Chains A and B, each alone.
Chain A
Amino acid sequence: MAITISGSTGIAGVDGSANTPALQGTDTNTGLFYGTDSVSIATAGSERVKINSSGQIEVTAGSSSAPAITPTGDLNTGIYFPSADTIAFTEGGAQVGEFDSSANFKINSGYGSVATIFGCRAWVNFNGTGTIAIRGSGNVSSITDGGTGIYTVNFTNAMPDANYAVALGGDNLTGTGNLILNTSGSFNTTSIQLLLTTGGGGTLIDDNYVSVAVFR
């Protein structure tokens, strides 16, 4: 039997609880219940979802095998919250990623378990001969050509400190020994200077393909 309500009062007066929702179907411990400025959904007598007084949607923490947020039909894949200030991701019931409470991003990308990844914070590939030009870059605002074999890579966003690691690559146009990418110039939070020399005499030279990657 349908209930028709006229006027503006509606149905009011019963908050209910997770175990006995105010609005329920034939299953008496599943339905809607209310708190002060909040609405919750309960199933099987437990609160599952809540819209709180700030308008936030609260869900249960979940687990790797039963994540809190999951797609229909694949219930062991999704997002869950294993501990305070932590967001985790699961696939097929196994954790595959996590933002931990220190804001570290961890993934299992063939590592065997989730582990912190240390991303490249800046990179650049440039032509160091003829008309100096940048072919591609990330978090690099410019390079400074300071003379033959002297280049400074300027970061768009500064590093947190100067204790970063640098991976370098290039090719030797002169063919006289190995090309040495000498970072004895300086490590700074806003830039790093590179000195490109030949392997034998240490003579500064320009190089056609110079690649720099900064990790921190």
Chain B
Amino acid sequence: MDKRIIYPTDNGGVAIIVPAPDCGLTIEQIAAKDVPQGKPFKIVDVSDIPSDRTFRNAWEYIE
């Protein structure tokens, strides 16, 4: 699956949900199930997520 779900964490960072291939759920269903209740989220392309994780904890969720 070439999509990711992102949402802000409580400490000001960003969490990235990586869907499991062949889990039988759509990206929207995974978002509804795995994003913490009440959190805003976005569905983005995997290419939008940096692969360089050197400063991973500095990443932020932009509305």
Contacts and interface: CB of A to CB of B under 8 A. Distances in A.
B56 A206 contact: yes
A144 B30 CA distance: 11
A135 to B, nearest CB: 9
B53 A148 contact: yes
Given A130-B51, A148-B53, A143 B17 contact: yes
A180 interface: no
A142 B18 contact: yes
Contacts of B25: 141, 156
Interface residues of A, number: 23
Interface in A132-172: 132-134, 137, 140-148, 154, 156
A126 interface: yes
Contacts of B21: 134, 137
Given A146-B15, A156-B25, A141 B20 contact: yes
A134 B23 CA distance: 11
A190 B16 CA distance: 17
Find the residue from A142, A154, A156, A191 having the highest chain B CB count within 10 A: A142
Interface of A: 124, 126, 129-134, 137, 140-148, 154, 156, 190-191, 206
